Chain A
Amino acid sequence: MLLSGSEIVMECLLREGVDVIFGYPGGAILPTYDAMTKYPQIHHVLVRHEQGASHMADGYARATGRVGVCIATSGPGATNLVTGLATAMMDSVPIVAITGQVPRAAIGTDAFQETDVTGVTIPVTKHNYLISDIHELAYCIKEAFYIARTGRQGPVLIDIPKDVQNEKIEFVYPEGEIRLPGYRPPTSANESDVFAARDLINNAKRPIILAGHGIMMSGAMQQLRELSERAQIPVTLTLLGKGAMPEDHPLCVGMMGMHGNAASNHAIQESDLIIALGMRFDDRVTGNLKTYAPHAKKIHVDIDPSEIHKNVKVDVGIAGDLRTVLNQVLPGVNGNTHPEWLNRIRDWQEDSSERDILSNYEGDKLLAPQVINDLWRFTDGEAITVTDVGQHQMIEAQYYPHRRPATMLTSGGLGTMGFGFPAAIGAKFGRPDEPVWAIVGDGGFQMTMCEMATAVQERIDVKIAIINNGFLGMVRQWQEFFYEERYHATPMVNPDFCKLAEAFGIPNMRVTQRDQIQEAVEFANSIKGPVLIEFVVEKEEIVYPMVPAGADLDKMIRRPKKGEQ
């Protein structure tokens, strides 16, 4: 079959099982856009900014576990993808980005819309390709998908010169196996490490499991639960680990880290064994490394060997697939109870609930925690929530407990404002039968709100909850704590979000009182299509607890107890 490069791209996408791609056309990618007309099985979503396309591919991938695909033209189209690639890289999300490039003969001449995209994206992709020969095209696409979804997953970019897209060859799909001599993701643990890990687990008095994104990426939820239940080991989650264990499970202590549950942070600091599974000891979860978990032996399992000993030196480091490794370790793990330890943790949890603003607040303003908690109630805790970055993100992490994996999607490693709304659109494409809520701040939403047009054009059923506090709230919080309340460049004069939604053709509602929340959720659910709800909340809210950057993990700024102020 004589096919053009563009048609080969589409053929390869079909064979990878791609059903939707997010993109934006332009000169250097036009041949591929033209080829799309022959492949109606693959739905193209026209975004309003390429950054949106990259986040949609990311949201799709996080929600489904499949590879998300985005596509853009050369130069500015490609550079607009960079934030999304960096976001996916930090959180190990498998996406494939396809970009047009100027014709081969023009490369290096500063041609119109020429950017060295493979050069620009080396640090923010797992791997990338500049296709210099059409004979390599199909194989490289296949390889790109393989690399994106195996080992430590991540984004891969393929840059295709326009003349390669136009060139024709006899097309043969490379059916054989991928052969990459230097790419051998680790799988299982060696026996001595398995024994060493079991030994530590069986002898620990105050063990704690730190569960991260890797649990879900390797599908080890069952194994995690078994380990935790059999040996009665409490589990604390990273932000991206939410969903790894049902948060209403008695052994789940909730999130750890800068704005984590105080009980988790205290428990880590007092533990005598840390079992870190598919997490990477990010500074946002460790605080001061010098004083981190000082009494604990440490076991670390991660698919990426370079994560072992990177931030925290461990006693048993295992590079491998979590599910495989846990299946190796579990048979020798003894039943255990740890009653004293669990009681101690319960005490910390009780102390936290005494400080909970939901039970202590006597004012009459609408609070973000109330909004999130009611959203949780009225969506039965079953919605897929996709957050943006800031206070509302941390409040969602604290007040929307998740029971199922991949139901809380958020930009953790990069903390990319503008991620939430487009990623929610992508997630909805991946899981059309589940309710998807984008929970965004008034600041972050304005970074990618142009995608409202995309949502309308696609009639995509995404609910937008804007938590409007009139500030870049999280930055304001830092200014309040660390810059003597000099609120510079954080107050915002915002557009009327409801009128804006109106202009885009999106049904909307403004909520200023707590008793309107249920009605708002019901209103949103009554419409099949995008709906925007603006929650006008208390302006100067603070997210507690807070571990100041670089402080010891248990030196948290706490919300005072009632009457303690």
Chain B
Amino acid sequence: MPNNTSKQVVVALVENKPGVLNRVASLFRRRNYNVDSLTVGRTHKSHVSRMTIVVDVARTDARQIVSNLYKLVNVIDVKALTGEPHVSRDLALIKVRTDDVESRNAVTEVCERYPARIVDIGVKYAIVEITAQEDLVEKLIDELRPIGIVELVRTGVVAMGRGVRILDTEYEPINHHQTAGDLERYGV
């Protein structure tokens, strides 16, 4: 398959509320943005989640993606990382055939050349784990393919700017369970 797409890594801090993922997904579908991968997870602040979104921007201006994400009320901050120094990682679990000596040796040999390790091994199959940049993960998959991949799962890319490029928020959510006697928060 010809690979003429360009990738854009966007990270977003979002309020950790139900339905936020739905809003982001709905936006991308509606605007016809092609999403390569989207990961969500909690951060060190329980009310903030962080998304890493890899988009195919062959058809879309990256600025459009960022400004449209900003328009979502629950999105606290957005940043396009591509073009800036950053670390990105994809994790894959790959179950491969290891039911004879050749395959077992081949898997071991391939894994030695990658930041990968065998995390489970049985008489028929082994599970290989790799955490690396996306292109490296893809290369490993290509090398394991001829041996016999029977199952594969990836987390999708997570990314973070290097050095002082920090994406964080001071935001503290409002506690709506204030009692009538404790109203400073409402400015009463």
**What is the interface of chain A, defined by CB distance below 8 A to chain B?**
118-119, 122-123, 126-127, 130, 132-133, 135-136, 139, 147, 152, 170, 172-177, 179-183, 304-306, 308-310
7 new A-B contacts, CB < 8 A, other than A182-B75, A309-B64, are A122-B23, A152-B71, A175-B187, A176-B186, A181-B171, A182-B76, A310-B64
Contact (Cβ within 8 A) B19 A130: yes
Question: How far in angstroms is the closest Cβ of chain A from B14?
Answer: 8
- CB within 8 Å for A305 and B187 given contacts A133-B176, A170-B179, A181-B169: no
Question: How far in angstroms is the closest Cβ of chain A from B78?
Answer: 9
CA distance A177 to B174 in the complex (A): 11
Cβ contacts A to B, 12 pairs, < 8 Å? A122-B22, A122-B23, A122-B26, A135-B176, A139-B174, A170-B179, A174-B186, A179-B174, A182-B74, A182-B75, A304-B71, A305-B70
- CB within 8 Å for A123 and B67 given contacts A170-B180, A177-B187, A183-B73: no
Residue in A130, A135, A147, A152 whose beta carbon sits within 8 Å of that of B177 in the complex: A135
Residue in A133, A175, A305, A309 whose beta carbon sits within 8 Å of that of B186 in the complex: A175
Contact (Cβ within 8 A) A118 B75: no
- CB within 8 Å for A123 and B70 given contacts A136-B176, A172-B183, A309-B61: no
Does B121 lie at the interface of the complex (its beta carbon under 8 Å from any beta carbon of A)? no
Does B30 lie at the interface of the complex (its beta carbon under 8 Å from any beta carbon of A)? yes
Q: Nearest B residue to A170 by beta-carbon distance?
A: B180
Q: Nearest A residue to B48 by beta-carbon distance?
A: A181
Most central of B26, B30, B71, B186 by chain A CB within 10 Å: B71
Q: How many residue pairs at the A-B interface have CB separations less than 8 Å?
A: 67
Question: How far in angstroms is the closest Cβ of chain A from B8?
Answer: 15
A175 / chain B contacts, CB cutoff of 8 Å: 186-188
Most central of B26, B72, B176, B178 by chain A CB within 10 Å: B176
Summarize A's interface: helix, strand, loop or mixed.
Answer: loop
CA distance A42 to B174 in the complex (A): 30
Most central of B15, B72, B73, B176 by chain A CB within 10 Å: B73
Q: Nearest A residue to B23 by beta-carbon distance?
A: A122
Contact (Cβ within 8 A) A182 B176: no
Interface size class of B (residues with CB under 8 A): 20 to 34
- CB within 8 Å for A306 and B71 given contacts A122-B26, A130-B19: yes
- CB within 8 Å for A305 and B67 given contacts A181-B76, A181-B171, A182-B75: yes
B64 / chain A contacts, CB cutoff of 8 Å: 306, 309-310
Contact (Cβ within 8 A) B15 A182: yes
A305 / chain B contacts, CB cutoff of 8 Å: 67, 70
Does B63 lie at the interface of the complex (its beta carbon under 8 Å from any beta carbon of A)? yes
Question: How far in angstroms is the closest Cβ of chain A from B133?
Answer: 29
A122 / chain B contacts, CB cutoff of 8 Å: 22-23, 26
Contact (Cβ within 8 A) A147 B73: yes
CA distance A176 to B188 in the complex (A): 7
B177 / chain A contacts, CB cutoff of 8 Å: 135
Does B6 lie at the interface of the complex (its beta carbon under 8 Å from any beta carbon of A)? no
Does B77 lie at the interface of the complex (its beta carbon under 8 Å from any beta carbon of A)? yes
Contact (Cβ within 8 A) A176 B185: yes
- CB within 8 Å for A181 and B15 given contacts A135-B176, A172-B183: yes
Does B155 lie at the interface of the complex (its beta carbon under 8 Å from any beta carbon of A)? no
CA distance A309 to B61 in the complex (A): 9
Q: Nearest B residue to A137 by beta-carbon distance?
A: B176
Does B68 lie at the interface of the complex (its beta carbon under 8 Å from any beta carbon of A)? yes
Interface bits B56-85 vs A (CB < 8 Å: 1, else 0) = 000001011001101111111100000000
A119 / chain B contacts, CB cutoff of 8 Å: 22
Interface bits B144-179 vs A (CB < 8 Å: 1, else 0) = 000000000000000000000000010100101111
Question: How far in angstroms is the closest Cβ of chain B from A214?
Answer: 16
B185 / chain A contacts, CB cutoff of 8 Å: 176
Interface bits B88-113 vs A (CB < 8 Å: 1, else 0) = 00000000000000000000000000
Contact (Cβ within 8 A) A309 B180: no
Contact (Cβ within 8 A) B19 A172: no
**Which 4 A-B residue pairings sit nearest by Cβ, starting from the closest?**
A176-B187, A181-B171, A306-B67, A135-B176
B180 / chain A contacts, CB cutoff of 8 Å: 170, 172
CA distance A24 to B26 in the complex (A): 29
State which residues 11-30 of B face A: CB under 8 Å.
Answer: 14-15, 18-19, 22-23, 26, 30
CA distance A36 to B122 in the complex (A): 69
CA distance A263 to B140 in the complex (A): 63
B75 / chain A contacts, CB cutoff of 8 Å: 182
CA distance A118 to B19 in the complex (A): 9
Question: How far in angstroms is the closest Cβ of chain B from A134?
Answer: 9
Q: Nearest B residue to A179 by beta-carbon distance?
A: B174
Q: Nearest B residue to A178 by beta-carbon distance?
A: B174
A152 / chain B contacts, CB cutoff of 8 Å: 71
Residue in A132, A173, A182 whose beta carbon sits within 8 Å of that of B77 in the complex: A182
B63 / chain A contacts, CB cutoff of 8 Å: 309
B19 / chain A contacts, CB cutoff of 8 Å: 118, 130
B179 / chain A contacts, CB cutoff of 8 Å: 170
Question: How far in angstroms is the closest Cβ of chain A from B180?
Answer: 5
Question: How far in angstroms is the closest Cβ of chain A from B144?
Answer: 40
CA distance A304 to B180 in the complex (A): 38
